[in-house]
Structure 1
Amino acid sequence: MYSPTPDDWREANRARWDERVAIHTASDFYDLDAFRAGKDALRAFELAEVGDVTGKSLLHLQCHIGLDTLSWARHGAAHVVGLDFSEPAVDAARGLARELGFTPDRAAFVAADVHDAAEAVPDSSYDIVYTGIGALNWLPDTRRWAEIAAALVAPGGFLYLAEFHPLTDCLDDATGSTITYDYFSRDAWVDETPGTYADLEAPTVHNRSVEWQHPVGDVVSALAAAGLRIEFLHEHDASLFQRFAALERHADGFHRFPSDRPRIPLMYSIKASRPAAG
């Protein structure tokens, strides 16, 4: 249900994520055995749009258990830092880094709220600031987020964001064919659904979550206002999840509407750069 932002939103969300770390690390969804064996956690469009990261520093905001972060290190980033507000998630990420042979100077993880990132991360700026899919909906204010993230982009560097398209949150849950919810709503969405996307049947206790919907225009405008130059905004007709029953899984692992239905954007990505010094 939509409601004004509750005072305990951060604590409620942290308790929810803390509890789900153990479920996620044991799940087939994350398949840590395959990841340890070399499976890439990044999506093909992200690799193509970010480009070669060899020798670069990369900061991953809201990194969860660090699979995307460590994948960037595997692709040649010289130094990656993952930040998440869940200490159990950061502990899991650090354990994975050790198992894969990454020393802290190659892959470090920090437990801190994203709003405190500037004070928490080891360096003042990074060649790439990365935010992966399913992160912005946990933050109430995109303008504040953009200011924090942009300040951590080094001159000549860029921010890259991949995210679920907010249009999907406006469609009816059953078919994804009817506009049911307000695209421009600024209210919090409070939910108490048990389980987790990685295991829908998992028994859980901390089920209350508080999320927000952010129109794409707000995100782009916030990044521009924070001093970054928008290089591109790409919209994608595929989703990582079967968000609606009508979505069909394709050979590339993405879910799309059937070919006889009009396409809509299900995800989007943005690259925004900081001009080089001088």
Structure 2
Amino acid sequence: MTDSFAVNKANWDERAQLHAASPDYDFAGFADPAHLSAVVRFDRPLLGDIGGLRAVHLQCHIGTDTVSLSRLGASMTGLDFSGAALAEARKLAEAAGASIDFREANVYDAVEVLGAGEFDLVYTGIGALCWLPSAGRWASVVAGLLRPGGRLFIREGHPMLLSLDETADPAVPRYPYFEHAEPLVFDEPGTYVATDRPLTHSVSHSWNHSLGEIITALLDNGLALTAFTEHDSVPWNAIPGQMVHDEAAGEWRLKDTPSRIAASYTLQAVKPG
């Protein structure tokens, strides 16, 4: 049986240096102490004041969002399974003057690695859940990390968007909307940002999870849903040739009637105290 996490780790280890060098992640912009990643700038109105909170960013990749959350006043821990990504994240944090505790581990092992009930905020940035086979197991990790009264904040690509065949014009459903046991296997030499060379570890494994499955998983693990918002935009060009870039927001949306598709969502939940 193929180890999907090993396949994906090889893929993300190789992406890390390419992403850090890409202008899309804008490492140079962090020289400005007020600079935030486009993702966190979008999240900020719904995220609210996080000053003084102890927070963990799950699947933090190369740390641009983690550093941005630190700049909003949270005491940050970043966790990722890619040592190569964390090496880039540590370089960024050092250059930005941010004190962040980066840990290398599979997200499913987060409670064991970081401790139970240690965090006021669990933050999961966009493009994370699709790399995990089980929404239920993820939700149990979130519940385990949060202290009573602690909050989950997640913005993620909408499963409606992720079910579409982006090569069709117009894009039509092709992939599962609901969670599936076997991963979707893709072999793509490129990544979602401009790079100067193709990937050699080009195979990746991913899964979709329906909104109902994600929400039910959180409820089943004792969390209470407090807010849910759907958006017509997403931070990457998810359907090439059919989306336009909103420079001010740093987001992509359909150029023809964007209200046709929910492209992403923000979900918040609390662990009752």
TM-score by length of 2: 0.92
Query: Is 1:89 the equivalent of 2:56?
Result: no
Matches within 5 A, 1:33-182: 33-38=28-33, 39-41=35-37, 42-77=39-74, 79-103=75-99, 107-121=100-114, 124-173=117-166, 174-182=168-176
Range with bigger deviation, 94-103 or 138-147: 94-103
Q: Report the counterpart of residue 28 of structure 1 in structure 2.
A: 23
Unmatched 5+ residue regions in structure 1? 1-5
Q: Which SS does the other structure have where 2:28 is aligned?
A: helix
Cα offset, 1:153, TM superposition: 0.9
Cα offset, 1:26, TM superposition: 0.8
C-alpha separation in 2, matches of 1:176 and 1:221: 31
C-alpha separation in 1, matches of 2:115 and 2:178: 37
Q: Which SS does the other structure have where 1:119 is aligned?
A: helix
User: Which residue identity lines up with residue 233 of structure 1 in the other structure?
Assistant: F
Q: Which SS does the other structure have where 1:97 is aligned?
A: helix
Query: Is 1:250 the equivalent of 2:222?
Result: no
Cα offset, 1:27, TM superposition: 0.8
Cα offset, 1:172, TM superposition: 3.0
C-alpha separation in 1, matches of 2:143 and 2:115: 16
* Residues 206/115 of structure 1: CA separation in 2 closer, same or farther (3 Å cut): same
C-alpha separation in 2, matches of 1:114 and 1:95: 22
Cα deviations by residue, 1:100-146 (Å, 9 ceiling, x for unpaired): 2233xxx1100111111112126742000000000000000010110
Matches within 5 A, 1:198-277: 198-199=193-194, 202-244=197-239, 245-251=241-247, 252-258=249-255, 260=257, 262-276=259-273
Unmatched 5+ residue regions in structure 2? none
Cα deviations by residue, 1:23-67 (Å, 9 ceiling, x for unpaired): 111111112111232421134441111110111111000000111
Cα deviations by residue, 1:174-216 (Å, 9 ceiling, x for unpaired): 3344333332351310011012112266222111100001111
C-alpha separation in 1, matches of 2:176 and 2:191: 25
User: Which residue identity lines up with residue 269 of structure 1 in the other structure?
Assistant: T
C-alpha separation in 2, matches of 1:156 and 1:135: 24
User: Which residue identity lines up with residue 169 of structure 2 in the other structure?
Assistant: T
C-alpha separation in 2, matches of 1:89 and 1:260: 37
Length, aligned pairs only: 267
Cα offset, 1:235, TM superposition: 0.7
* Residues 62/201 of structure 1: CA separation in 2 closer, same or farther (3 Å cut): same
Question: What's the Cα RMSD here?
Answer: 1.8
Q: Which SS does the other structure have where 1:195 is aligned?
A: coil
User: Which residue identity lines up with residue 218 of structure 2 in the other structure?
Assistant: L
Cα offset, 1:239, TM superposition: 1.4
C-alpha separation in 1, matches of 2:148 and 2:159: 30
* Residues 201/175 of structure 1: CA separation in 2 closer, same or farther (3 Å cut): farther
Q: Is the 8 A contact 2:16 2:85 kept in 1?
A: yes
Q: Report the counterpart of residue 178 of structure 2 in structure 1.
A: 184
